[in-house]
Every structure is written in C-alpha cells, then in structure tokens.
Chain A
C-alpha cells in the first residue's frame, strides 16, 4: 500500500532523512520506532508533503512524492499529527465534520458510532475543541481523520503525555481501525502499544532505518534496543 524508497528530506542545510526505505502492506499495522530527533516525524511529514521530499513515495502504486498534502489525503492517506492540532474555536462535532472530504459519499466510520465508542466526546459534542483534555483531544484528532475514510492512517506519537487509561483507549481504537481493514503506520518512541499491535516494526537512527523485523524479533535483539531505543 505504501512504499517509501530512499527518502531524503532537509531542514535548511540539515540533512534530516538520509535514505529512508520501508513499506506498509494493505491492512497491516507497522510501527516506526526510534529516539527523539532520528527523523520519524519528518518521515511522515515528508510522505504527506508537509516537508519537501526527495526520493520515491508510492501510495497504492501511485507516486505521491511532490504532490500537495490535500491531494495525498484525497487518495486515501490519513495523517494524525504529533501535536494533535484540534481546531480550538470549533465544536467537537464541527471538528469531526471537517474530517469528511468534499464529495465523500460513504465511509467506514459514522459520527454517532464514534460517539458510541467515546462517550466523553459525545457528552462534549457541542463544546469547543480547545477546552478538551489531552486524551480527549487525541481521540478527537484520530476520529477526525477517520471521518475522511482513509485506507491507511499515519499516527504520530498518539500516546505522548497521556494517562495509562487513555493509552489503553488509544490501543483499542487502533485495534478497531485495523479490524476494519485500514493500514496503520504508527510512529512511536515508547514500545508498549507498538509491540502489542504491530505486525512489523522498523527502528530508525540518524535519519535511516537501522533495523526491521517483527516485534518478537525486536524483543530478542537486546543490542538493537540498547543502541537505538533505550534511553
């Protein structure tokens, strides 16, 4: 579904991504792991066209490198950014409605169904998004992207700064997303959720993929974890 080959990206003169290569198959959950500053978030931003990419990015067989963000989103690639970026002056319901694409006729997801899954959001449907808690904002942000019915979703640090109970809710939602055939690229620093739900994991270091394998394989690879993941 997503094939990234020899992806490079720059911030000014800094060479951030130095030939990243990985892929995600249809309906698969894949995690991109690594410490802060290794280029995980830049990778997804480059895929979405937020950072100018060099190299090849193919989504559903189509080259999307160089396309604009809205064109990529309309091809069915969803993105939940690290800082959530809830629209603070819009209500929860309006935030969700904004996720629906123009001309979209059907979806795997309905607002009422998402409200059933997250009663907190339902209760605060007419409240401005800016007053929600961090956990509620994370849920809203993920649900907002789902409203656009993506075939694949890239989620950047969904559990960052959240309480354990909310982390569990995020995990459950990710399982539900996968159950409905949506591929997931999970960008994480912590291993907890990633190791539980991913089919494959990539470890990044110095702007490159330095290891790939299964979660079970990563658990056995003590040297990789020590060198690239543990603080």
Chain B
C-alpha cells in the first residue's frame, strides 16, 4: 500500500510540475494581455516535434536547448506581427485568433511530420532507474523531469520577484501606461513575456514528448487540462497555477493508482445490483476509469464554490 502511495505521489509530482510549466506561461500571458491563449498547448506540441527533429541529427541535449528557443522566438514573432495587431480589435478577436492558430499549428505539424506517432526517445544518459523501492523502479528521466520543472519554477520565481525585469513585468501587468510613462518599452516587454511563456510550453513539450508520446493530438490531450488549471488556480495567479497544477497532477495520479470503485462504496452501504440492471455499468465504475474526468469535476466544484479560483482576485 505504502509503495503505491509513494509512486503515485512521485508520478503526480512529475505530471503536476509538467502541467505547471505549461500553466505558468499561459498565466503570465493572461495576466499581461487579458487573453487566454488557446494555442498555448500547440506551442508545447511544437516543442516536442522540434526537439524530435533536432535530436535525430544532433542528439537529445541539443534539442533540449534549441527547441524551446525556436518555439520562444516563434511565439514572440506571432505576438509582434499577429496578436498585437488583433489586440486593437478586442478580446473576442484575440480569442478567435489564438483558436485559429491552434488549428493552424496542428495542421502544420501533420503536414510536415505526418499523422503517425514519432519515436522520440529519452536520452541514453538517463536510461537507468534512479532508485528502486519495494521492487519498483523510478526512472532517472522522471527524476530529470522533476529537477527541470522545479528549476524552472525557482528561476521564474526569482526573476519575477527579485530581478529588475521581474519588477517591471509585475508593474506592467497592472499599470502598463504608468510603466510606459517611466520610459519602459511595454509592448517589447509583452512580446518578451509571450516569447518566454511559449518557450516554457516548448520546454514542457521537449521533456514530455518522450514519456507522453509525440503525436499530433498531444496538444489536445493537455490543452484542456491546462485551461482547467489556470481557472482553478485563479486567472492570472502564478501561485494559484502552481497549487492547481500539483493538485490535479496528484489527484489524477492517486485516482489511477487506487483500486477503489463504486462496488466498494455500494458494498459498504450493503446495496447490490443485478447484472441485468439498466445502470449496471454505472455501479461498476472504478476510480481509475474516471481519473481523466476528475480535473473537470474539480473545475465545476471550484466554479460553484469559489468562482475566482483558489488564488484569484475578483475583478474591480
């Protein structure tokens, strides 16, 4: 039992921290521009595909460095020449733009790399078990994923709270005109934040690609969960996104690892249904089966009981 709990916690951490890498960029972009970037998970997918192609020629580590950079530059260019122009037409136009961009990127990925799953592999260097506990192995690559994610979180936290650029970003989020009046190039700051946000998504794709498989639907798999996270955490709250990412990562992991289900609950209540009962399927459902639905269930509960999210603030 204890080994199941430990490994479920570790796997939950891996997933949660990976989700945070995506959610942090999305939250930063939302804080600054007030728009939910529907194409954010598409940049995650691009990160995985770019890294896969680079790794074929130059190896995994070159892809790890250059793929996020390429995605970041692409994101910055899209902000500068696309989103900034659309911004003048309001938030609806921005939403439609990012929605269209998500489709465009998915089609482009299928066009250039094909519809099949790519054999993007973990690096040889990390192909060993980091430790063995209760006879179960925890791979070094998963440990590497945790290390990268925590480093990114700490780096981001340091930059945003301690560095001059972080202070300028914090101020520009709430008072862009005042920051501009002090001589800071706010549109340039916005472009850089968008670039960094998409680069983080790209980095998440690079490290998740070999584990969660690299295929054209990978953006759709994580995309909706990331939106759930930023809403549960509270729109615009980085700390909220962090908590919600871990919460959802652990929740899903515990649900998958558990062997509980409706039959256990019904047995406890002393209720039994015939196999021929019309709702038999519902009474036999197990927790691992509904694990993918849990984030959305949590979203509904948060929206009912705390509509601003865990750390969000009510709009003035």
Listed in ascending order, the chain A residues whose CB lies under 8 Å from chain B are: 48, 50, 68-70, 73-74, 79, 81, 85, 87-90, 94, 97-99, 101-102, 144-145, 148
Chain B residues near A98 (CB-CB < 8 A): 167-168, 171, 179, 182, 184
Shortest beta-carbon distance, B314 to chain A, in Å?
16
Contact yes or no, A70 B170, CB < 8 A: no
Chain A residues near B187 (CB-CB < 8 A): 68
Please, which residue of chain A has its CB at the minimum distance from the CB of B171?
Answer: A87
Chain A residues near B183 (CB-CB < 8 A): 70, 73-74, 101-102, 148
B185 within 8 A of A: yes
Q: A89-B170, A97-B167, A101-B183 are in contact. List 9 more A-B contacts (CB 8 A).
A: A50-B177, A70-B181, A70-B184, A70-B185, A73-B183, A81-B178, A87-B171, A102-B184, A145-B182
Out of A50, A69, A89, name the residue touching B174 (CB < 8 Å).
A89
Please, which residue of chain A has its CB at the minimum distance from the CB of B179?
Answer: A98
Query: In the bound complex, what is the Cα–Cα distance between A178 and B15 (angstroms)?
Result: 60
Listed in ascending order, the chain B residues whose CB lies under 8 Å from chain A are: 164, 167-168, 170-171, 174-175, 177-187
Shortest beta-carbon distance, A75 to chain B, in Å?
9
Q: Provide 20 A-B residue pairs closer than 8 Å at the C-beta atoms, listed in order of the A residue.
A: A48-B181, A69-B181, A70-B181, A70-B182, A73-B181, A73-B183, A79-B181, A81-B178, A81-B181, A87-B174, A87-B175, A87-B178, A89-B170, A97-B167, A98-B168, A98-B182, A99-B182, A101-B184, A102-B184, A144-B182
Shortest beta-carbon distance, A141 to chain B, in Å?
9
Chain A residues near B168 (CB-CB < 8 A): 98
Contact yes or no, A90 B171, CB < 8 A: yes
Query: In the bound complex, what is the Cα–Cα distance between A118 and B181 (angstroms)?
Result: 23
Contact yes or no, B170 A90, CB < 8 A: yes
Please, which residue of chain A has its CB at the minimum distance from the CB of B168?
Answer: A98
Query: In the bound complex, what is the Cα–Cα distance between A94 and B185 (angstroms)?
Result: 18
Please, which residue of chain B has its CB at the minimum distance from the CB of A104?
Answer: B183
Chain A residues near B177 (CB-CB < 8 A): 50, 69, 85
Please, which residue of chain B has its CB at the minimum distance from the CB of A87?
Answer: B171
Chain B residues near A81 (CB-CB < 8 A): 178, 181
Please, which residue of chain A has its CB at the minimum distance from the CB of B188?
Answer: A70
Chain A residues near B171 (CB-CB < 8 A): 87, 90, 98
Shortest beta-carbon distance, A129 to chain B, in Å?
10
Chain B residues near A68 (CB-CB < 8 A): 180, 187
